[in-house]
Amino acid sequence: MAIKTVFMGTPDFSVNIVQALVDNGFDVTAVVTKQDKEAGRGKKITSSPVKLWAQEKGIDIYQPKTARAPEFIELMENIAPQLIVTAAIGLIIPKEILDIPQYGCINVHASLLPQYRGASPIQQSLLNGDTKTGVTVMYMSEQIDDGDIIFAKELDILEDDNCGTLFDKLAVLGGQAMGDLARVLAEGKPMGTPQDHSRATYCKKIPKELGNIDWSMDGKAIVNLIRGMTPSPGAYTFLNGKRIKIVSAKSRVACTGAHPGSISAENKLAVTVACGDGFVDVLQLQPEGKSVQSARDFLNGNKITSGTVFERNIN
């Protein structure tokens, strides 16, 4: 018998999860997603990826301002799902809703809990230079990401991964996890394993300003910042008053007395920038108002001389 399921999620990552639920025989009768919002310079009203997916499938959509609203709690009670699955919903789910489904309220989180509870686990793993991550399937509780773990799936982080590539890989892994969940639930409601709360770490939403590169940092930290901020909101620097987004780079430790941020014009295949412990070779970048380009194209199109400096910020 198909399990009557309500899915709660918002971004592209969540679409992979809910599609995998459908593919694995779950009866997804409704989705809950965040409210439409203004986006871009034109302030155009946009819908979440999960809402767009549900519209294509003809599935009922609900967009509460808060999940604590009495009318929303009553709605969930009337739907009476056997299972609720959440993935990056961006809403606090109250106990009244958590207690409704007989199979529980299950969350898919993009880290190996208890590490990186919170809003930015994918970015944080890259910022910290981790070599492993994964997805955790867990029971929700009233606290953020601290419920009992049902199972987790690991994934290696490669040196050339950035937030975009890792997001996509974890979305696929999360979809695969729904197949595992279907097999587990076929045996009944599983027991969860309590997290070791003493090992918990937390991560908040990443502010755009974090991407403003401090070239006095060690090269590895700068490269990890670029990886964690790419493709959005982006790591950036300034040249002659114009913002330049740094898309990819490699670091190398070397003895140098050069001022952090100063550029060496000798390398024609990379924009070589002095940093705290050596150099960062910028491989791809995006000047303001232009598309992403290679370092070679950037150097060919700009008069860069040795000693030109990337500035940290413009007031």
pLDDT band at 290 (very low <50, low <70, confident <90, very high): very high
Q: Measured between alpha carbons, how far is 291 from 200 in angstroms, rounded to an integer?
A: 40
Give the pLDDT confidence score for residue 152 in this predicted structure.
98
Q: At what angle do helices 12-23 and 49-57 cross, to 10 degrees?
A: 30
Give the pLDDT confidence score for residue 315 in this predicted structure.
58
Q: Measured between alpha carbons, how far is 88 from 9 in angstroms, rounded to an integer?
A: 5
Return the DSSP state at 168: H
Domains recognised in the chain with CATH numbers:
4-203 (3.40.50.170), 208-301 (3.10.25.10)
Of 307, 128, 151, the residue nearest 201 (C-alpha): 128
The residue-averaged pLDDT of 271-281 equals 95
Return the DSSP state at 210: G
What pLDDT, in 10s, does the model give residues 81-101? 999 999 999 888 999 999 999
The residue-averaged pLDDT of 149-164 equals 98
pLDDT band at 314 (very low <50, low <70, confident <90, very high): low
Percentage of the chain with pLDDT > 70?
A: 98
What pLDDT, in 10s, does the model give residues 112-130? 999 999 999 999 999 999 9
Phi, psi of 292 (to 5 degrees): -65, 140
Q: Measured between alpha carbons, how far is 292 from 187 in angstroms, rounded to an integer?
A: 50
Mean pLDDT of the chain: 94
Give residue 263's identity as a one-letter amino acid code: I
Q: Which residue has the higher pLDDT, 153 or 301?
A: 153
Give residue 22's identity as a one-letter amino acid code: V
Give the pLDDT confidence score for residue 105 in this predicted structure.
97
Q: How far is CA 306 from the centre of its chain?
A: 37
The residue-averaged pLDDT of 240-249 equals 95
pLDDT band at 265 (very low <50, low <70, confident <90, very high): confident
What pLDDT, in 10s, does the model give residues 178-187? 999 999 999 9
Is the per-residue pLDDT at 3 higher than 90?
A: yes
